[in-house]
Copies of this chain bind each other. A is one copy, B any other.
Amino acid sequence: MSRLKLGIPKGSLQEATLDLFSRAGWKITLGSRSYVPAIDDPEIECLLVRAQEMARYVESGALDAGITGHDWVVETGAAVDELSELIYAKQRLARVRWVLAVPEDSAIREARHLEGKVIATEVVHITESYLAKHGVKARVEFSWGATEVKVPQLADAIVEVTETGSSLRANRLRIVDTVLESATVFIMNRTAAAESWKREKVENLILMLQGAIAAASKVGLLLNVHRDDLPTVLAVLPALKKPTISALSDPDWVAVNTIIEEAVVRQILPKLKAAKAQGIVEYPLNKNVL
């Protein structure tokens, strides 16, 4: 039987990824040889690989597909297909930025001020491309971690990843510029992508992962409403979603069932009540495929 060799990111993305797969329908279990986790699908073979190394191994064919950051695809320059962004809802892993940052009181205010300076970063190639684009010469030093504490003693500036900027602020750093935006991506080896079985397997996997991601930020709403009040109730619901309206035994009343973003429920629910909806119930979803 053919099997899909799939790289799961080890480290900070690992737990969120295993949780996402679980919600999508695949149970991945770490065993005694924890780098080869078990998965309850005989058509898939998993390998835990660091996000930084994923693209390299997908490019070489050691893996057919994998989940990593767009940033590491760029940094390694690996020739792979980026099939789909995975914006893990309710997880901390939405979009991130690699930024050029300096101490709050630094004289560096824009890229050209970096001339002759020392920059510490985990993404040496991305940083060098950025400097080249701005026609600046500076020394870029590979940092093994804890980059944000290296200025000013050990470097003049850093290029570091951030989501909200709060860690940078806590270290009294100022963001000078955005060097690269990134998100988690599902990547695939180009030869494997040309095999129809592997391609279809991967597409179904992405469908389910996206279904689980979509469901995590949504809920179902059920309510009863008198036919006279139906237009008012429908006017409150988001226009894009087409609710399911079903008949009740009492012909004057209908049941409305709709899927909406959880984040808007707190605004919509008081309005639904004002519009005379009754027996309003919000229920959780596992998956949602439009």
Contacts and interface: CB of A to CB of B under 8 A. Distances in A.
A290 B244 CA distance: 20
Contact of A281 (B49, B207, B220, B269): B220
Contacts of A50: 144-146
B255 A248 contact: no
Interface stretch (A23-31, A103-111, A173-181, A189-197): A23-31
A285 interface: yes
A262 interface: yes
B249 A245 contact: yes
A57 interface: yes
A204 interface: yes
Given A32-B170, A269-B208, A57 B246 contact: no
A263 B207 CA distance: 16
Interface residues of A, number: 72
Given A166-B31, A287-B269, A154 B49 contact: yes
A238 interface: no
B245 A246 contact: no
A47 interface: yes
B273 A281 contact: no
A10 B149 CA distance: 12
Contacts of A26: 266
A285 B289 contact: no
A278 interface: yes
For this chain, the copies found in one complex come to 6
A283 B286 contact: yes
Given A283-B283, A284-B283, A289-B269, A146 B211 contact: no
Contact of A248 (B166, B220, B246): B246
A42 interface: no
A284 B284 contact: yes
B278 A290 contact: yes
A207 B246 contact: no
17 contacts: A25-B266, A32-B170, A52-B144, A53-B144, A204-B266, A211-B282, A215-B281, A219-B286, A220-B283, A246-B246, A246-B248, A246-B255, A249-B254, A265-B287, A278-B290, A281-B287, A283-B285
Interface of A: 10, 24-26, 31-33, 35-36, 40-41, 47-50, 52-53, 56-57, 62, 141, 143-146, 149, 153-154, 166, 170, 204, 207-208, 211, 215, 219-220, 222, 224, 242, 244-250, 254-255, 257, 259, 262-263, 265-266, 269-270, 272-273, 278-290
